[in-house]
Amino acid sequence: MLALNIVLYALLGTSLAFAIVELGLSAFLTSAYTGTREVATWSSYSGYSYRTVNLKAPAILAFLVFASCWTILVTVAALVLPWHFAKKGFVSAKLNTILASCFVGVYFVTMVFWLACFADLASLLGGGTSESSYFNAILAFGVLLWLLFVALVVFTALAMCGVMVSDWAGYQSLRKDKGAEGPQASGHAHDVPMTEQPNA
């Protein structure tokens, strides 16, 4: 029980820290690319002249800013919600099922976001690295965030299947105990707290 809680805290905390770093890097590059520039042009009739050009950042940088903000919101919610319901001391099977489904869905969507981000950025860089250390850092953090959310999907699925045990809301097993007496045996498992264990 304690091992899964520590793993989840570590994964979510690391994801939050990496998302904040990724947000800073991608926002900086987006602002650096966006704006107007004076560009020198050469003409054989008039020589050098300057004209103003409006530049736009690549779309992947804007999506990286969005994915970073999304990840920050997801990780904060995933850290606060189980803690909030554990503090209340009552987690029903219905609440656990709803939270578990939401966590798996949101983690999977976030994993797909980061896969799209680093794959598109790697494609933009020609499949290699860039001369800019900012692009390389964004690419590295994108890959790490994708791996973190792959791990979160796997651990949440293992907790839902009962392979790993946790007392957090949303990470408790969805399997019904066959030996349970009372309301759980009569089919009303959603009416009792999951933290209570039947007496042997």
Cα(192)–Cα(93) distance, integer angstroms = 7
Which one-letter amino acid corresponds to residue 134?
A: Y
Burial class (CB in 10 A: 0-12, 13-18, 19+), 178: exposed
User: So where are the chain's domains?
Assistant: 2-161
Q: How high is the mean pLDDT of the chain?
A: 80
Look up the pTM and report it. 0.75
pLDDT digits (tens, 9 = 90+) for 176-197: 654 333 343 334 344 445 555 5
- pLDDT value at residue 182: 37
